[in-house]
Amino acid sequence: MKIPKITTFLMFNGEAEEAVQLYTTLFEDSEIITMVKYDETVPEQAGKVQHTIFKLNGQVFMAIDNMNGTSIEMNPAMSLFVTVKDQYEMDVLYNGLKEDGAILMPKTEMPPQYREFAWVQDKYGVNFQLALPESSK
């Protein structure tokens, strides 16, 4: 598999596997390509994600678990902008990502480009802008 020249890389605070599992169930054409976990050498790292490569809707991402001992939170200044194909996909992603997370901007119409738009932060702190184009009627 060829890794794109520029790839979004996410660092989680011990929840990388859980987050990647959620994302690959919500987005179509998604899969975990590789997931390497820390072994028992350092007990507090055992089972955490050392490195993973996964696809969401055909696009490659990478992630790790932060193991430096200092929690580093995600920031809404960086978000994943997702153009959804139809109302069904919008609803699946919106409902799945906002669960135990936060709605930063509720579903709203954004003429002239978007029939529906929402901004959610999932329970891991990753921010998603979901946009349903006007042309998807």
- Tens-place pLDDT, residues 103-135: 999 999 998 899 999 999 999 999 999 999 998
Confidence at 137, pLDDT banded by 50, 70, 90: low
Average pLDDT over residues 47-57: 97
Identify residue 98 by its one-letter amino acid code.
K
What does the mean pLDDT of the chain come to?
A: 95
> Do residues 104 and 59 share a domain?
no
pLDDT one-digit tens code per residue, 54-76 = 999 999 999 999 998 899 999 98
* Model-wide pTM > 0.85: yes
Q: How many domains does the chain have?
A: 2
**Helix (H, G, I), strand (E, B), or coil: what is residue 49?**
strand
Phi/psi-derived region of residue 118, left when phi > 0, alpha when psi is between -120 and 50, beta in every other case: beta
CA distances 124 to 23, 68, 79, Å, are 11, 18, 13
Q: Output the pLDDT for position 91.
A: 98
CA distances 58 to 4, 31, 55, 92, Å, are 12, 9, 5, 17
- Residue 72 placed within a domain: no
Token pair of 82 as six digits: 């997702």
> Do residues 86 and 46 share a domain?
no
Confidence at 2, pLDDT banded by 50, 70, 90: confident
> Do residues 55 and 85 share a domain?
no
> Do residues 16 and 44 share a domain?
yes
> Do residues 92 and 58 share a domain?
no
- Residue 130: give the domain boundaries: 80-136
Helix residue ranges, H only, the chain? 16-26, 87-98
